[in-house]
Structures are given as structure tokens and as C-alpha cells.
Structure 1
Amino acid sequence: MAQTDFFDALETRSTEQREAELMVDLVAQVAHAQHHSAAFADILHGVEPMSVNSRAALARLPVTRKSELFERQKTQRATDPFGGFSALVRGKHMPRVFASPGPIYEPEGTVRDYWRAGRALFAAGFRMGDLVHNAFSYHMTPGAFILESGAHAVGCTVFPAGTGQTEQQLQAIADLKPAAYTGTPSFLRILVEKAREASSDISSLKKASVGGEACPPSLRDWFTENGIAVFQTYATADLGVVAYETEAREGLLINEHVIVEIVRPGTGDPVPDGEVGELVVTTLNAAYPLIRFGTGDLSAILPGHCPTGRTAKRIKGWMGRADQTTKVRGMFVHASQVADIARRFPQVNKARLVISGEMANDQMCLKVEAIEADDTLRELIAVAVRDVTKLRGDVQLVPPGSLPNDGKVIEDARSYQ
């Protein structure tokens, strides 16, 4: 592909160059967060920034999950609604503040393409001069602004459609003839179906960047049959665009200026490439420096490189939620407890707690992949299960590699009928 097929030269850096530059930036970000974010001054207390110069060193830092961010914001709301996470103060350097469910408040900085959406839209075929019909919500949440800023970075003009008022939106599309759509895939489908019913001309729409919900291959194929090439993005209000789809349709490419780890749910321990785990993201955003931020979403690293010539790693996409907390015999059991049990035994590679039975008759079995397994090990693990969870459960030793690679640490297989 020609260089004009890429958003910028960062996308085609060698793997070695990208990794080296990310690690240099990581050292600077840790120092910046300690000095300009009260929350990370606390979370990273005693950490020497120069020592955090590798992925192994990064993995030794604590994971900060959304629940902790929310709790810090809630307890400090009277003095700092951002809970000490923002490195900005209100004024010209913070043009907007947004709210996500919780509520969790997020600051917006003044950097061009603040949420790094431009390269995702470029990969979806958006080009300078395109009119973009932006159907993400402009109400409180940053979704619409994430995509709008990316469209402006590409050189597009944006129609701020927002959500709802389908008939008026169809009229605007027929009149303005936008080339592209941004919004949820479900609303785009509504627009296509309603346009067909009303004989409204929306044939100008040829490409779309969708997010906010799943877009399975069957729905993507339906859009293709209706003349619209749809590309997915993975973004959050806290982190911006983390990964995005290219025309290769092979997973989602990890965005520049973020460091992605896949960790075993309930822990901060990275798993090997290919294994499903929780997405943990470090942003190199000076305004909102989130370091090892646990998204609560499951994914896995794909092998190899994108056929388009972009050299960043790829993830499989959204594969479910990592928070698998469940209640057994009236007691909450957490993924972190399963991890705690497994850590006690060097022979254990992987563990999966299966809850079965009918309501009011819960049965618990910890399936364990272990080397040098014997009855003594099984008995010791059973004791650890009681010690950690305060519940009795069976232990089943299984051969290495036999547990499913789906990121589940707790499987609720109970019958609720």
C-alpha cells in the first residue's frame, strides 16, 4: 500500500521502533502522572519512573479498575469531581467535561484529536471533504465528540445528528447526502430499514464507523448487502479509541499512543499472546494519565501483523466481560479469589471454578490445569478453596491445555428453571 493509504507514518513503524518509543513515553508518563495526578501520586507512591521501562516492569504496577476510579470520584466529589485522576484544571485547557453512567466524570483536553479517533476513521475509508452523519449522542457522554474530533482530524465535515428523530435524520441524509455514518450499528440498521419503508434516498451512505455495542459478522454482512461498508471501533469514555478495524477484517488494530496488556481476570498478571483475558490499557494522554486501567472487557492478542501493512498488534475484539463475580450458597465468589488459590501452587497453570446444580443446591468444582498432579496436590488445593472462599468445593485436576480459552475464571453453569 502507498503511504497515502495510512493516516500517518506511526502506523508503519517497525515493531521494534514502536516498542522502544512506547517504553520511553511510558517512563515519562509515569513521572507525569505522579506529579500531576493526585490519584496516581497515591497509587504509584514509591515507584521510580525510570524503572518502569519495560512491559515486565509495567506489569508490576497495580491495576486501577473503573470501580476504584468511581469510588475515588465519589468520595472526593465535594473538592474534586475527577477523584484526583485529571491532570487538568478547569479553564482554557479543559474545554468540556463529560459524564458516563455512575456518574463518572471525564475531562476533555485541547490536544487535536484528543481521543485518537482519526486513524480509526481513516482506516474505515473516511477522507478529507467527506460529510459525516454523526448519530452518537451529544448528551452528557463523550461518544459523539470522540468521533467528531476524529472526523475533523481527517478533514471531514460533521452533521451532529445525535440520536432519535429518525424521520428528520432520514430527511437530512436525503438532503445533505453524507458519505459516511458514525454511531451504533443498531441505529444504522433502523435508518436503513426505515428508509426502505419510506422510499427515502440514503444511498449516499457508503461507509460507517460503528461502536458502543457488538456488531456481529452477520450484521456487518447485512450492511454490505445494503451498500455500506461498516468498520468497528473499540473505545471507552475514559480511554478514547483503543483499537479499530481495518479493511483486512482481521481483528482490531491497537491504536497508537496506548499500551495494551491482556491479564488473567481478577489479577494484574499478563497472559501469553492468544490467551483470552481482561484488557488493561495504559494511555499516553497527559491530560488524563490512566496507567494500567482495567476495562473489565475480555479479548486476546492475535498473532502476526495486519495485511494492510500497519504494524501494531491486534486484538480479537470484544469477547465479553471479565467481572465474573457470582454468589454461591449466599457468599460472593470473585475471580481474584480463584487467582489467589492458583498462585499458592507453582504446579498450577490455570484454574476455572465451575458452579453447577439447581437453585438452593449449589455445587462448586475447581478445575485445575497442573503439572506433577496427584491426590496430595488435589487435597491441598481443596483446603485452599475453603480457606479463600469460605466454601467447600471439589477439585478436579485436568491436563494442561484442556480448559477453554475464553477468559472465564468463574463459570456459572447452574440451572435457573
Structure 2
Amino acid sequence: MNTFYDALETRSPEEREAAVMAALPGQVAHAQKRSAAFAEILAGVDASQVTSRAALARLPVTRKHELLERQQARRAAGGDVFGGFSAVGFGAGMPRVFASPGPIYEPEGTRRDYWRMARAIHAAGFRPGDLVHNGFSYHFVPAGSMMESGAHALGCSVFPGGTGQTEQQVQAMAELRPAGYIGTPSFLKLILEKADALGTKLPSVGKALVSGEAFPPSLRDWFAARGVAGYQCYATADLGLIAYETSAREGLVLDEGVIVEIVRPGTGDPVPEGEVGEVVVTTLNTDYPLIRFGTGDLSAVLPGPCPTGRTHTRIKGWMGRADQTTKVRGMFVHPGQIATVAKRFPQVLRARLVVSGEMANDQMVLQVETRETAGGLAQQLEAAVREVTKLRADVQLVAPGTLANDGRVIEDARSYR
């Protein structure tokens, strides 16, 4: 399990960073030239100067809801169904099109292992010559195709099991004897429970790559007790693979084909290492060149390298959603507004807005980590909150390190009973 998919996984961090930063200006220029959306979003940006993470962090973040809004607007006008984000059009260069909830439409290009899933499949223990039972959906969403193309790139055969029909899934597994399963963890649990109910043994299924849902240690142990070593990966329909679990089971290692930043929710500002924030990804995929794409997911960088010898950065995995927009007294309050308030005061280290009280009797308290508690800072912050949100809030100054490191910028603590 400690063998590597390729030499990229064990490059020195300095070599990797130099390579991706060398590729970044060309990707930004390509997005500006071939993607109508990014020609607009990155208007005025000199791509040749985007050669560092600091320069990348100055570019705007495009969040998933903005991508959807652009797609909807273009479709309503009879234009590009991809909202100007795709660099390729229908035809030989785009063999498939998929739909995610929204709907958001995603193109699939012709590149081998287009979604870059082979790396995660390999890390989960699959090898050339294995038969993979693919339990992801093959219609509408790209998950089935993502995993199948990755398995083929690794040299595996695939049974396209899809979803549902658990009794037939058990029969196929019993007769075909696949080396393992790929799909959601909950569906694998259903299949194994159905096999138990039918009295059918599935001794060949010894490994699994799961995604699309939370994979708690309790479920991982449940699989292990039945002889199945389960590993997880983090991927999206827009970006493909972002990170994957290894045999060390200490966080998820970032994929080699993406540049990942962790930013403060509601902003594009990178947070210090270890602090929870929103996962923002720049992909090196030239067919669908997403630059600083905000996933809306929360995570944090883990210190140090993976014990398996892979040298890329590790993240904790999925830790919740970053979109914490909350309605207070009939008005929406956004994480970006709290960030705007905090940026006005260099004394503010971190800030969190806590909304409490019964519905229709909302109370807001802005909790602020600071080393300065005098000089009228609380009163200035109260005035800033009122100016930015048009709502009144009390301000509570607290010592550095008081607020939980969970990525929360707005906490809704109201009673809904």
C-alpha cells in the first residue's frame, strides 16, 4: 500500500511548487483567451505576473453559486449552456456532458483519466488487472464516469453496477468476484447487509474507495470487521479529484493536478496553516480551466508530510459548508460582510457573529479576538457592523485563541422550537 502511482507523488515540495507556479500563468492566460466567463472575471489581469500564491490570491474567487448564475443567464438568453466557462464545445472534444444539482452542466473532455481519479483508486489498493465494482451513478451526474475512466487508466476492468437493485448487486459480486467496490459508503453498507440477509459470501471484495458522503471511523471499522479496507477521496463534478486518503489514514493528500488554497469564508484571503476555511481550487485542466473556484466546503491544512512518503500537502478532509449566510430580522447577513468589518480594524485577529434568541427576537453579538481591549474598539466595531449590515450588534472582545477553529464566521444559535 506504500507504493506510489507515479513519481509526482514523491517530488520535493520545492520542485512541485516550482512546477505548478510555472504552469499557472499559462493556465490563467488560457482561461482568459478560451473561456468567455474568465475573460470577463479576469479582465485587466496580466497573466504573466501570476507566478506565485500571493499573486494568485489577488485574483477573484468564483463560487459555485456564481457559476450557476452565469449558466442560467446564458441559457435563458439562448447562449452557451456552460455559462462561458468551458474552453471546448460540443463534438469530438467533448464526448459527454453531465448535470449536477442546480442544474449545473459539466463537460467531459477526451484526455485519458480526465477527472484524475486513478491516483485515488491506486492509493485505495486497486492494481492493474483488478475488476472494480462501480456503484456510482452513470446517469446525469459524472461520478460513475469519473471512477470508470480512472479505473481504466489504472488498468482495471469495471462492472458498471450503478445504484439500486441491491440483490442483483450482491449476485454480480458473488459471481464476478471483483477485487473491490467504488461508490458511496452507505450503498456499500446496504450491499453487505443484503449479502448477509441472503446468506451470500463476498470474499473477493477486500477494498473500497468511497466518496460523495461522510465516511466516519465507525463505518470504516464496520467495513474492516467484514474484511473490507475502505478509503475515501474528495472530488467534485466541477474539478475532479481534489484529495485522497492513503494507508496512513492521516488526512487527505492533495492531488497533483490542482492548486488548493484555504481561505476565510466569504473572502478570497488565505488563512494561516491549520486554520479552518473554505477550499478554493485552481485546476490545471485546459478544457475546463476553473481559476480560484470556491467549492463551498470547509477544511484545513495539516502540518507535515504524509507518513507514506507522499510529499504533497494534506488537508483534514470535509469539515462542513462555508456558506453561512443567515437571515436576521428579515435581512440577509453574509460571511463577506463580517470579513469587511474585520478588515477595517488591524487589531482584529478573528471575528465570529453569533445570532441568538427566539425567532422574531434576534440578537447579534460580534465576538472578536484581539489583544487590544481599550480605546473604544468595541464601539467602533458596533458602528461598522451597523453600517455594513444595517443591523445592530453588540461586540464582545475576547483573547486570542478563544474562538473555535471550525471555520464558522456566522453561528446561528437561535431556538427554532
When normalised by structure 2's length, the TM-score is 0.98
Aligned to 2:50: 52
Q: How does 1:16-415 map to 2 (within 5 A)?
A: 16-77=14-75, 78-374=78-374, 376-415=376-415
- 355-364 vs 180-189, greater mean Cα deviation: 355-364
Amino acid at match of 1:206: G
Offset of 1:375 from its aligned partner?
5.1
Amino acid at match of 1:361: N
- 8 A contact 1:366–1:393 mirrored in 2: yes
- 8 A contact 1:365–1:394 mirrored in 2: yes
- Identity %, equivalent residues: 70
Residues 355-385 of structure 1, C-alpha deviations (whole Å, 9 max, x = no match): 1111221111000012323251110000001
Residues 14-73 of structure 1, C-alpha deviations (whole Å, 9 max, x = no match): 000000000011111001111111111111111111110000000000000011101111
- 8 A contact 1:359–1:415 mirrored in 2: yes
SS of the aligned residue for 1:406 comes to: coil
Amino acid at match of 1:11: E
Residues 111-162 of structure 1, C-alpha deviations (whole Å, 9 max, x = no match): 1000010010000000001000000000111000111111011100000000
CA distance in 1, matches of 2:322, 2:56: 20
SS of the aligned residue for 2:364 comes to: strand
CA distance in 2, matches of 1:361, 1:72: 36
CA distance in 1, matches of 2:79, 2:266: 31
CA distance in 2, matches of 1:321, 1:203: 38
Amino acid at match of 2:208: A
Number of equivalent positions: 415
Q: Which runs of 5+ in 1 are unaligned?
A: none
Q: Which runs of 5+ in 2 are unaligned?
A: none
Amino acid at match of 2:48: M
Amino acid at match of 2:380: L
SS of the aligned residue for 2:352 comes to: strand
- 8 A contact 1:10–1:256 mirrored in 2: yes
SS of the aligned residue for 1:98 comes to: strand
Structure 1 segments, 4+ long, off by >3 Å, are none
Offset of 1:200 from its aligned partner?
1.3
Residues 313-354 of structure 1, C-alpha deviations (whole Å, 9 max, x = no match): 000000000000111111111101100110111111110000
Amino acid at match of 1:179: A
CA distance in 1, matches of 2:234, 2:396: 37
Amino acid at match of 2:267: T
Amino acid at match of 2:182: T
Amino acid at match of 2:175: D
Residues 170-191 of structure 1, C-alpha deviations (whole Å, 9 max, x = no match): 1100100001101000000001
CA distance in 2, matches of 1:307, 1:150: 25
When normalised by structure 1's length, the TM-score is 0.98
CA distance in 1, matches of 2:140, 2:363: 44
Amino acid at match of 1:393: A
Offset of 1:202 from its aligned partner?
1.4
CA distance in 2, matches of 1:180, 1:170: 13
CA distance in 2, matches of 1:48, 1:118: 34
SS of the aligned residue for 2:376 comes to: helix
- 8 A contact 1:13–1:311 mirrored in 2: yes
SS of the aligned residue for 1:76 comes to: helix
- 8 A contact 1:280–1:292 mirrored in 2: yes
Offset of 1:306 from its aligned partner?
0.4
Offset of 1:392 from its aligned partner?
0.8
- 8 A contact 1:347–1:373 mirrored in 2: no
Offset of 1:89 from its aligned partner?
1.5
CA RMSD of aligned residues (A): 0.9
